[in-house]
Amino acid sequence: MARQTLLKNAGLEFTAIPADVDEREIEDRMPAANRDPVTIARHLAIAKATEVSRKNPGAVVIGCDQTMSLGPRIFHKATTIEEAGATLRSLRGQAHFLNSAVCLVEDGKVRWSEVSRACMQVRDFSDDFLAGYLERNGATILSSVGCYQLEGEGVQLFDAIAGDYFTILGLPLLPLLAALRQHGINHA
């Protein structure tokens, strides 16, 4: 929903159509040499947009995906509060990256793609803070790969952030708007 809100607030008219793809299967089929977090994000965004594009001939489809990485480790969304706690403990006192990919696909062909990165420095929070954070935020944090929403209490987890706010929310909006203008789709 955050991505849709960003697009609406930017004045774009669009129809949101969810892609029916198995992200883990797509990731598993990628050659091991290409399984870095940036390439995975780009590949998943393109796979999603291509799937929607094939069902909507002539439409320019915006595809997005985001990966989160800490060193070589790539994280996936937690499915339980316990997993969310484990994720946040592993991020404590460390800097991780959000890798946000966006692409334009038309008739199954990639017209443009971009990946932007944001570096997120998690503070060395206490176990008591973590327990309270998990209790107060509950299942809502399971919708985010990092188990936080920066626009909410999740901001309390950080010491520093380097990167574009839109990238953090999962959509490199400024490069996307420029690409839409360049391709004659957005006349702003």
Sequence-separated (6 or more) residues with CB below 8 Å from residue 47: 19, 21, 26, 63
CA-angle at 66, arms to 156 and 70, nearest 5°:
60
Measured torsion, CA atoms of residues 168, 135, 156, 128, in degrees rounded to the nearest 10: -140
As a whole number of angstroms, the distance between CA 6 and CA 67 comes to 19
65 belongs to the catalytic site: yes
3-state secondary structure of 123: coil
Q: Identify the active-site residue in 20, 36, 65, 164.
A: 65
**Cβ proximity of 162 and 98 under 8 Å:** no
36: tokens are: 């870095």
Active site amino acids: 65
